[in-house]
Amino acid sequence: MSKTPAPPQVLDMCAAPGSKTFQLLEMLHQGSSHGQAPQGIVVANDADGQRCNLLTHQTKRMCSPCLMITNHSGEMFPRMLDPAAGPADANADAAAGEEAAGEEEGVGDGEGEEGAAAAGAGGGRRRRAKPARLLFDRILADVPCSGDGTMRKSPDIWNRWGVAAGNGLHMMQLKIALQGARLLKVGGRMVYSTCTFNPIEDEAVVADLLVRCGGALRLVDVDAQLPQLKRMPGLKTWKVRDRFQWYESWDDAAVVGNKLSPTMFPSPEKAALPLERCMRFLPHHNDTGGFFVAVIEKVAPIDALPDPDHSFRLRPMSGIAKVEEGAEAGAAAELRAAAAAAAEYALRGSAGGRRVAPIVIGGRVKHGRAQPSHFQNR
Ligand SMILES: C[S@@+](CC[C@H](N)C(=O)[O-])C[C@H]1O[C@@H](n2cnc3c(N)ncnc32)[C@H](O)[C@@H]1O
């Protein structure tokens, strides 16, 4: 992360055990004389409480008064009040807009509702000015991943690795990156990184994030920086695999894909992005572990961010409404009809990009009665 002119406010969203947090703190302290604390802050967060202990242990050697350790899930990292920022803060409008968007998605902290209630109670009364929120100059989203890049030091990963791990992590990674984008100042930068080469966890997340934010984010070209550090450009296209087969596009996978989501797939819109600016550091390039890194800059406020869970996780039609042998014909037919309606409903919802009511996407017949299961909540 390059230096910012003002005291930087830095967020490390998935920080434990803290090796990168330590480096961030070192950078913050660079230039401040002995005994003098710099003005910036590093907020180091991890979702795992026990790993937060590791984080504390790792970073206490710095004895820095500029460190705050938090224990939240990155996708729901709260918007903290910024006592230092006045109402005229350049990012205040953006923060307010994004906050409203967040509240719409259920990730707000409830203050918006309180404000709205105050406005309602007072008839035409003006909306109470919202306190400024702490936005960050620099964010590191070093997200949990399937970890094949660490195979040199953990060879057992070779045996354990499978596409299911990455497919399962993709949505969480995307949500962490989205929350990072919300919490970033306009002009601020976020690094999204993993230690996997699985494009579903790498380029697919970056591409969907950029498309979702509709031009408010851009991939920074850092090709000229650290030229000795060998790297490969990011991928523009990739295939997606579930337990059974490979898919080229969401169109192929929408009906039969097992636990897949459109956010995982390449598209012409995503291919038009400069994804080659993402960097893939292969282990033999620099005799290191393997890393994927993308540097993302926020160039405009983000008005609203549709929830990526609008995508639907359909099960194969053959898997839906699995019917036990000898099941009562009426119950089996009922379950099959529910499943077919669910699939159709989900497809319509997917095409329209809108929320849908809970639907049945699986189930079985037991004791002669239809027992729907696997409810899709949106
Ligand atoms: C790749 S490690 C981070 C390594 C760290 N940046 C470092 O350099 O030492 C990913 C971390 O994310 C944490 N994590 C897992 N799920 C998370 C979530 N939903 N939000 C935030 N952190 C999460 C894990 O506990 C783990 O410590």
Distance 171 CA to ligand 1 centre (A): 15
pLDDT, residue 316, reads 34
Domain spans in the chain, listed from the N-terminal domain onward: 73-95+132-309, 329-376
Residues 191-249: tens digit of each pLDDT: 999 999 999 999 999 999 999 999 999 999 999 999 999 999 999 999 999 989 999 99
Give the up-direction half-sphere exposure of residue 110: CA atoms within 13 A in the CB hemisphere. Answer: 0
The Cα–Cα gap between 42 and 65 comes to 10
What ligand 1 atom has the least distance to the C-alpha of 73? Answer: 20
Q: Is the CB of 46 under 6 A from ligand 1?
A: yes
Tokens of 75: 């996708």
Tokens of 321: 């409404």
Where is pLDDT greater, at 275 or 107? Answer: 275
Residues 35-78: tens digit of each pLDDT: 788 889 999 999 999 999 999 999 999 899 999 999 999 999 99
pLDDT, residue 298, reads 98
Tokens of 272: 């038009």
Q: Ligand 1: which of 12, 13, 14 to mutate, judged by most atoms within 8 Å of the beta carbon?
A: 14
- Rounded to two decimals, the pTM is 0.77
The Cα–Cα gap between 181 and 107 comes to 14
Cβ burial of 344 (10 Å; 0-12, 13-18, 19+) is exposed
Residues 287-309: tens digit of each pLDDT: 999 999 999 999 999 977 767 87
Q: Is the CB of 98 under 6 A from ligand 1?
A: no
Asked if residue 171 has pLDDT above 80, the reply is yes
Cα–Cα distance list, 104 to 85, 97, 107, 178 (Å): 24, 11, 8, 14
- Is 19 labeled as ligand-binding? yes
Q: Is the CB of 267 under 6 A from ligand 1?
A: no
Where is pLDDT greater, at 338 or 365? Answer: 338
Place of tokens 């699939």: 343
For domain 73-95+132-309, which CATH number applies: 3.40.50, 3.30.70, 3.30.420, 3.30.1490? 3.40.50
Amino acid at 102: G
Q: Is the CB of 362 under 6 A from ligand 1?
A: no
Asked if residue 27 has pLDDT above 70, the reply is yes
Asked if residue 350 has pLDDT above 80, the reply is no
Distance 41 CA to ligand 1 centre (A): 19
pLDDT, residue 100, reads 43
pLDDT, residue 33, reads 79
**195 flagged as catalytic:** yes
* Residues 281/284/287/292 CA torsion (nearest 10 deg): 20
Residues 88-137: tens digit of each pLDDT: 444 544 444 454 444 434 333 333 333 333 444 444 556 667 778 899 99
pLDDT, residue 336, reads 67
Q: For 154-176, what is the mean pLDDT?
A: 96
pLDDT, residue 258, reads 86
pLDDT, residue 5, reads 60
